[in-house]
Structure 1
Amino acid sequence: MGVFSSKVTHANMASPTATLVKEWINSDAVVIFSKTYCPYCKLAKDVFEKCQKKYTAIELDKRDDADEIQAILGELTGAKTVPRVFVKGECLGGGSDVKALYENGKLEKYFE
């Protein structure tokens, strides 16, 4: 008998959760899919605080459907890891990616 994992490996992109994720991505100029304890998530949030850009954080560790959301993000972006940072509907990547864009002055162009 096999061992079953609660991890969702394949996302149903027609599910209500997938629709919700897409709505969240388009709900604010900056949307960060995050976990409260993740240092890279904190790094991403710190970048937007430094450049005084409001963001919406979806804290996955406080949600029962976190695995499903991460599977959906994997389908949408090619990566399930958090943070997944979206600016105006476009995925910019994770914490290190956003920090690099900020440090080389390229993050601001996403707000023009």
Structure 2
Amino acid sequence: MSFIFRRLFSTTSSTMSDAAQKKAQQLIDENAVVVFSKSYCPYCNNTKRILDGYDAKYKAIELNQIDDGDDLQNALQKLTGQRTVPNIFINKVHIGGNSDLEAVVKKGKDGKKIEELLKEAGAI
């Protein structure tokens, strides 16, 4: 009996993981800027303040406020190697976390300043 339960649970976990990976990728693909966040996280709140300072349009996904938040966070770890939040994407490119965004603001990324990245994404 336990073998059947483990087999069923394993299949269900895999299916949930696949669904979460598809959902995460869809959110990244459909939004110029997406921030996977937790509402209580000070680094996430700082990231949103930075983006608000540029009047950027972005989608914030509060992982702690949705039913599949843990699954999405696991999917993002598989996708990016990063488990922590915020997990930021601009124009489908993984930026990283809050300190990575701060570095882009100060120094740019691939020779582009934050304003240029946001404009190219259609977020400002």
Q: TM-score range by the shorter chain?
A: 0.7 to 0.9
Which has more helix, going by share of residues? Answer: 2
Partner of 1:44: 47
CA spacing shift, 1:44–1:12, aligned 2, 3 Å? farther
SS in 1 for 2:39: coil
Q: Which stretches of structure 1, 4 residues or more, deviate above 2 A after TM superposition?
A: 11-14, 103-106
Q: How many residues align?
A: 102
Computed over aligned residues only, the root mean square deviation of the Cα atoms, in angstroms, reads 1.8
Unaligned stretches of 5+ in structure 1? 1-10
Query: What is the alpha-carbon distance in structure 2 between the residues aligned to residue 25 and residue 12 of structure 1?
Result: 21
Query: What is the alpha-carbon distance in structure 2 between the residues aligned to residue 25 and residue 46 of structure 1?
Result: 20
Unaligned stretches of 5+ in structure 2? 1-12
1:23 aligns with 2:26: yes
1:109 aligns with 2:123: no
Deviation at 1:26, TM superposition (A): 1.1
Give the alignment partner of residue 57 of structure 2, picking from 54, 59, 62: 54
Larger Rg: 2
What is the TM-score normalised by the length of structure 2?
0.74
What is the TM-score normalised by the length of structure 1?
0.82
